[in-house]
Amino acid sequence: MIQMKTRLHVIDNSGAIVVECIKVLRNAKWASIGDEIVVAVKVAKPLSNALSATNTNKAKKGDVHRALIVRTKKEIPRADGRYIRFDDNACILLNNQKQPLGSRILGIVARELKEKKWVKAISLAPKVI
């Protein structure tokens, strides 16, 4: 359950490391796996050289982006009666067209994303649980 002021890890290669939820985009107090939220970047990878053409950081500290929640500490029920939970709260950043901002996802994601039609995020993930 993600609400305002919750800190999340970013598991894509967009340049952000830690973000903070500032708005849940559905009409509820909490967001869960597969929901979209608005986040502010709190910790980002440092810019090694501003003149370098190899700088691929798309997110900088202070930027506001939309994000997709892919893991939560709070357990969620599945249809077969099992519950699944993860060790941390994690998300991936999205652009204005609701596509992932990074080109890679660097961790596992939940299978519930497939049910909520986030096919692009599923295809970039190395493992789906």
Q: Is residue 75, in this structure, part of any structural domain at all?
A: yes
Q: What pLDDT score was predicted for residue 47? A: 78
Q: How far apart are CA 86 and CA 94, in angstroms?
A: 21
Torsion angles phi and psi, residue 121, rounded to 5: -65, -35
Per-residue confidence of the chain (129 residues) as pLDDT tens digits? Answer: 999 999 999 999 999 999 999 999 999 999 999 999 999 999 999 876 655 555 678 999 999 999 999 999 999 999 999 999 999 999 999 999 999 999 999 999 999 999 999 999 999 999 999
Q: What pLDDT score was predicted for residue 6? A: 98
How crowded is the C-beta side of 64, counted as CA atoms within 13 Å?
4
SS3 80: coil
To the question of pTM greater than 0.75 for the whole model, the response is yes
Are 39 and 68 in contact by the 8 Å Cβ rule? The answer is: no
Q: Is residue 17, in this structure, part of any structural domain at all?
A: yes
Report the CATH number that the domain containing residue 85 is assigned in CATH: 2.40.150.20
- Structural domain boundaries, residue 106: 7-128
The number of domains in the chain is 1
Secondary structure letter of residue 2 according to DSSP: B
Q: Is residue 2, in this structure, part of any structural domain at all?
A: no
